[in-house]
């Protein structure tokens, strides 16, 4: 009988340890520590952000941009993936641009966000997000026409398709 109670104590201890380990893993995952390991696709990100596609437009909920973090998106047009992004900048306005710079687009590497700056993944040039759409040429993301309609940032699919030449190859 003592053996049975001892086994139950060990089993209970192992179960408690497993629960604590699982809880810790869940907390770390929710904190975003695994974002670089378990990366979501642009389609998954758009879906979780509540992005709505109609026949002729992409509608991004403004609340999905409130954090100031850039929302990277992808559209499949004419058999070619086109990449773009949207964000709310520090002055409270919204910006959208192709995820390709005017100068380095042939490498098809796009941008990343570091704080309030966008950084070209090819040449590492960084510039303030408030400059998106104001400067063209060199290493700047090419502006993507957009407008705010109600609670959405709306981008016409025709405007996205017009940027197809910025994406000569598929991204890996």
pLDDT in tens, 86-95: 999 999 999 9
Return all residues near 133 (Cβ < 8 A) that are at least 6 apart: 95, 96, 97, 143
CATH class of 42-166: mainly beta
- pLDDT tens-digit readout, 105-149: 778 788 999 998 999 898 898 888 888 877 766 777 889 999 999
**Is 109 within 8 Å of 118 (Cβ atoms)?**
no
Quick one: pLDDT at residue 19?
Answer: 73
Q: Which residue has the higher pLDDT, 32 or 11?
A: 11
Element (H, E) at 21: helix 2-30
Q: Which helix (H) or strand (E) holds 42?
A: helix 42-49
pLDDT score for 29: 47
Residue 63, number of CB atoms within 10 A of its CB? 12
Pairing mode of beta strands 80-88, 94-101: antiparallel
Q: How confident is the model at residue 133, as a pLDDT?
A: 78
pLDDT, the chain, mean = 81
CA distance 162 to 65: 24
Q: CB neighbours (10 Å) of residue 96?
A: 26
- pLDDT over threshold 80, residue 98: yes
Q: How far is CA 157 from CA 125, 134, 144, 165, in A?
A: 29, 22, 10, 15
Average pLDDT over residues 33-48: 68
Percentage of the chain surpassing pLDDT 70?
Answer: 74
φ, ψ for residue 43 (rounded to 5)? -65, -45
pLDDT at 102 > cutoff 70 = yes
State how far the alpha carbon of 82 is from the alpha carbons of 73, 76, 114, 133, in Å: 8, 6, 22, 18
Q: Which pTM value belongs to this model?
A: 0.73
What is the DSSP secondary structure assignment for residue 41, as one 8-state letter? P
- Average pLDDT of span 12-36: 59
């Amino acid at each position: 009988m003592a053996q049975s109670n001892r086994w139950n104590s060990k089993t209970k201890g192992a179960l408690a340890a497993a629960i604590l380990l699982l809880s810790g893993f869940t907390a770390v995952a929710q904190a975003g520590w695994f974002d670089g390991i378990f990366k979501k696709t642009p389609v998954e990100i758009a879906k979780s952000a509540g992005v709505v596609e109609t026949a002729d437009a992409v509608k991004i909920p403004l609340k999905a941009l409130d954090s100031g973090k850039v929302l990277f998106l992808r559209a499949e047009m004419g058999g070619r993936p086109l990449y773009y992004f949207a964000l709310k900048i520090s002055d409270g306005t919204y910006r959208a641009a192709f995820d390709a710079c005017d100068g380095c687009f042939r490498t098809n590497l796009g941008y990343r966000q570091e704080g309030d700056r966008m950084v070209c993944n090819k040449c590492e040039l960084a510039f303030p997000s408030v400059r998106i759409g104001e400067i063209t040429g060199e290493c700047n993301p090419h502006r993507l026409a957009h407008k705010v309609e109600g609670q959405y940032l709306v981008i016409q699919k025709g405007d996205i398709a017009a940027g197809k030449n910025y994406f000569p190859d598929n991204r890996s």
